[in-house]
Structure formats: structure tokens, C-alpha cells
Amino acid sequence: MARRWNTRAALMITLGALSISTSALADSFVIVNARLVDGTGAAAKAGALRVRDGRIVALGDLVPARGEAVVDAQGQVLAPGFIDTHSHHDRGLDKLRDALTATSQGITTIVVGQDGFSEGPLRQVFGAFARAPAALNLASYSGHNTLRASVLGKDFRREASAAEVKAMQRRLADDMRAGSLGLSTGLEYDPGIYSARSEVIALARTAAAHQGRYISHIRSEDVAIDAALDEIIEVGRAARLPVQVSHMKLALVDRWGSAGTVLARLDKARGEGIDITADVYPYEYWQSNLTVMFPKRDFTDLAASEFALTHLSTPEGMLISGYAGDPSLVGKTIGQIAAARGKSPAQTYLDLINASPNKGEDDMVIGTSMRTDDVANLLLWPHSNVSSDGMLVDRHPRGAGSFTKVLAWLVRREGRLSLESAVAKMTGLAARHMGFADRGTLAPGMAADLVLFDPATVADRATIADPGALSAGISKVWVNGQLVYADGQATTARPGKVLRRKGR
């Protein structure tokens, strides 16, 4: 039986004592009286955990050394730090280096370069982060859209030539040598939407040659979802690398309730030897640009607009979250704007796109398109990990509440996931999906990315009305052994590291 220590006799760091130097914590400390949930899915165990020089060195029935710092967990859960495998929290991170929106929900690592868009070259991005680190770790994919734009320029509304594909491959190979996790695509967005499958496969093969991975905002999450899933499966088969469906969803009213069919398709592919996985965020609504629901990019097509507002969402389910041409529209639905203008919602939608300087590409909308039971079933798939798809400052609450929402909703309120399984989806499974060898579990030698939380009170508080509200129940967060968040506040520690592909 694990000891319950009378920590009054030890050098005590209470749950509220932010005055203790974080550098002292980085050397050696013990967290006692914890409920250890190790990230593997194994049952929780009472015990203690020791950190030294940013690494876990022991766990179990531990005796604090004389003069060693002690943190009393007071029976709360101690888990590996949460890994956000599909994140946009790097936007503004150079100014908001405490990353409070992320760390306050237990996130210790963000994986960026998503949806086919990455900063670059990554060698420069990683160097800049190493010189001015943030409170959490950062890893990145290389974005296909970014590579394509760098080669094709404004002439992107076509398939790339063989020479242009080779030029993209050279840029990708350089990113891979710098430590990129692999290739990301956003095939519903310009310029990637115009790419041929052969182009994607060629680039995926380059990533595979460097032991990389492939992650994709697939070509359709609604009408053509079956063909889009066939494409990512074929990429995995042809390029022989792990593939992941980004923010997997069923965003088509006509397909609501068919999550089981989609998952059966993925299970069949796994049975054929294709390592296909997914990440999911726990919301019925997404956020993207205004043009995303027009795959043919015809912004005069009234029938396409009417279809989007009938089968993909509704006029009241489309909330403007960013509009440079008229910021007063932010927070209003297309239905409300249409009523004020005396026009149909479908025509209003087209008007909003066409009145935008960049045809709606830079203007954002939150669209309600999914059903709760589908979201839950996709999250419950054994090969799905949790993600946020969120930003530090965002109109969508996923940026501040995704991980804690899963713990409050599927674990505590509905009991559809055990605590241990939910944590595994946020940590050990996520680490495997990204190829991280030293993150995601509580074990000697692993990096001391840790989150301490109360399973009885942990919950998201972010809403569309208050999207930046911090979560409840997250007591402390450590990154590489340094305390970065405690009791609702960020510390001044910035111990984040660049996490490169395994082997780099």
C-alpha cells in the first residue's frame, strides 16, 4: 500500500504557493498522495512520482529525500500532460508565451502545421522557438498548401506539373531533415483543393522516406466523405506510412447517425494493414472560412448556397466569427443578417463571400453541422485521440475547453469513457499517433510533462458567448519538470521544447 505522507514534515509546496521558485521544482521534487493515471489505459494507482532535471525518475511508494521539495496532490489525479495533436495554438504564441488558453486545460504539447498550412521553413520556425520558448512544447507538420503556394504561386487553380511536384518534394525533404513530423494536407482549402491524388501521394512518399507521417483535413467532411476517406486510405497504402484523419466528423445532415458506418470503413482499412487513426474534438460545430462549403468555388451559385444552408448547416447555425469588411457582423448568424437586409439567407451567404476582399477566405464562420451522438461515437473509437483544433484567442470554445470537456462530458456525466481511457486518448495514444517516444505516459525516463486535476470538478467553462473562459478543476501543470500553471494562473516559466520527429 502506498504511503500517505504527512507533508507538514517535508519541504511543502501547497497547491496555491506560486511564490516557490519554478527552478527549484526543475531540479528534484516529489508529488505525493496522488492518484496516478499513467496514460496507458491501466487502472489508476495511489502513489507518488519523482521528477529530477525535467524527467520522471521514479513512481510508486516513494520516500522524499531530506530537503527534497514535496507537492501534496491531496488525492487528485496525476496524469501525463495532454498532447493536442491538431492545434492552432501557435497563432499569437510569440506574444502570449504563457499559452494560458492551452495549459489551463492541461495541454503541454501542441502539434501545429495543420490543415495543409505551416510556417516555414520549419528550420527557421524551430530555431526561433528554441531562442524564445513558450510555456508548452511545440511540434509541427509541413503543410501541403504552404508548399504548393511556394511553388505554384497565384497560378494554383490546376494540377501541378511533374517538375512542380519535385520542387515541393525538395522543400518537404528539407523540413523533414529539420524535424517535421510529416506532411499535412487541407484538401478543402485553396490551393490544395486543386491537387491531384497523385501529387499528394508523391509528397507522402517523401515524408515516408524520412520516417514521417501524414495527417489530413480530408477533401470532404460532408457530401463526398466516402471518396475522401478512400483517398486518405489510398495515401496510406501507396506511401506506406501512418495516416490520420484530422478533426473527424460527419458534417452532413443526411449522414447523421452513421458514425458506425464510417468507423467500419476505417476498421476494414486497418485490417488490411493500413495504420489509419483519427483525432476528434468534442463539439457539434466547427470553425472555418466562409468559402469552405463551396467545393466548386462558384460564389454565384445560389443552388449551392441553398444546399449548404439546408444539408450542411442552417442559416441560424452559421455564426460569423470574423469579418474584416464589417466587424459589426461578428457574433451574428447568416439568418439574422439576411433578415436585417431583407434578403434570402442563401443570397446573403453569397453576398458576404463576394463582398469580402479575399472572397471570404480570411473571414470566419462557426457552423453547426454535427450531431452529439456521432461526435461521441467518433471519440469513442479505439483509434481516435482527443484534439482541439483551437487557437489561443478564438471565437470557438474548443481552443479553451476541448480536453476538459471530454473529462466532464464523456467520463463524469455520461460514463461512456473510463477516466483511464479518456486520459490515454489525450496522452499515450496521442503520443503514439504523433511518434513521440518520450511523452504521453508516466514512466521512468519520460519527460515530466504532467497535469494534476480533480476528476470530480474538472470541466470546461468556455462557450460561444465566452470562448476564452478557463477550465475548472485543473490544479497544476508542469512542462519538462517546470510548473507553468497553478490554480488559475500562469507562472513565468517558459520551458517548452521543440519536439522533432523520432530519430531527429
* Contact assessment for residue 11 and residue 44, using Cβ atoms and an 8 Å cutoff: no
* Segment 337-360 mean pLDDT: 96
The Cα 320–Cα 322 span in angstroms is: 6
Whether the pLDDT of residue 3 is over 80: the answer is no
Q: Is 132 left (phi over 0), alpha (psi -120 to 50) or beta?
A: beta
Q: Is the pLDDT of residue 18 over 50?
A: no
What does pLDDT average to over the chain? 94
Average pLDDT over residues 73-96: 98
Q: For the whole model, what pTM was predicted?
A: 0.94
Asked, as a colleague might, if the bond just before 467 is cis with ω within 30 of 0, I would say no
Under a CB-based contact definition with an 8 Å cutoff, are residues 393 and 102 in contact?
no
Give the model confidence (pLDDT) of 36-46 as tens digits: 999 999 999 99
Q: What confidence tier does 358 reach under pLDDT thresholds 50, 70, 90?
A: confident
What is the residue extent of each domain of the chain? 82-284+370-433, 288-368
What are 5's three cell numbers? Answer: 505522507
Confidence of residue 13 (pLDDT cuts 50, 70, 90): very low
d(CA 405, CA 371): 16
Is pLDDT above 50 for 57? yes
pLDDT band at 360 (very low <50, low <70, confident <90, very high): confident
Across 146-219, the runs of DSSP E, i.e. the strands, are: 182-186, 213-217
Provide, rounded to the nearest whole percent, the portion of the chain with pLDDT above 70.
94
Report the pLDDT averaged over residues 252-278: 98
Residue 366: strand, helix, or coil: strand
Q: Can you tell me the distance from the alpha carbon of 149 to that of 189, in angstroms, rounded to the nearest whole number?
A: 12
For 102-151, write each residue's pLDDT tens digit: 999 999 999 999 999 999 899 999 999 999 999 999 999 999 999 999 99
Interval 346-363 mean pLDDT: 94
Query: How would residue 502 be classed by pLDDT, with cut points 50, 70 and 90?
Result: confident
pLDDT at 25: 39
Q: DSSP labels for 54-101? A: TEEEEEES--PPTT-EEEE-TT-EEEEPEEESS--TTTTTTT-TT-HH
Residue 14 scores a pLDDT above 90: no
| Residue 22: predicted pLDDT | 40
List the CATH code of the domain at 82-284+370-433: 3.20.20.140
- All cell numbers assigned to 420: 483511464
**pLDDT for 120:** 83
Rounded average pLDDT over 192-213: 98
Inter-CA distances, 422 with 115, 412, 417, Å: 25, 11, 6
For the stretch 285-332, pLDDT in tens is 999 999 999 999 999 999 999 999 999 999 999 999 999 989 999 999
CA atoms 356, 359, 363, 365: torsion sign: positive
For residue 38, list its beta bridge partners: none
Residue located via cell numbers 507537492: 71
C-beta separation of 141 from 113 below 8 A: yes
Note the pLDDT of residue 9. 40
- Per-residue pLDDT, 465: 95
The pLDDT of residue 503: 60
Residues 471, 482 contacting (CB under 8 angstroms): no
Q: What is the mean pLDDT of residues 372-398?
A: 98
Question: Strands (DSSP E) along 348-431, which ranges?
Answer: 364-368, 384-386
- Region 220-230: what's the mean pLDDT? 97
Question: Using H for helix, E for strand and C for coil, what is the string for 257-321?
Answer: CCHHHHHHHHHHHHHCCCCEEEEECCCCEEEEECCCCCCCCCCCCHHHHHHHHHHHCCHHHEEEE
pLDDT in tens, 401-456: 999 999 999 999 999 999 999 999 999 999 999 999 999 999 999 999 999 999 99
pLDDT in tens, 87-101: 999 999 999 999 999
Task: Encode pLDDT of 233-242 as tens digits.
Answer: 999 999 999 9
pLDDT in tens, 154-163: 999 999 999 9
Give the pLDDT confidence score for residue 504 in this predicted structure. Answer: 59
Is the sign of the CA dihedral 88, 91, 94, 95 positive or negative?
Answer: negative
Quick one: which of 173, 180, 117 has its CA closest to 145? Answer: 117
Question: Is the predicted pLDDT of residue 457 greater than 70, yes or no?
Answer: yes
End-to-end distance of the chain based on CA atoms, in angstroms? Answer: 41
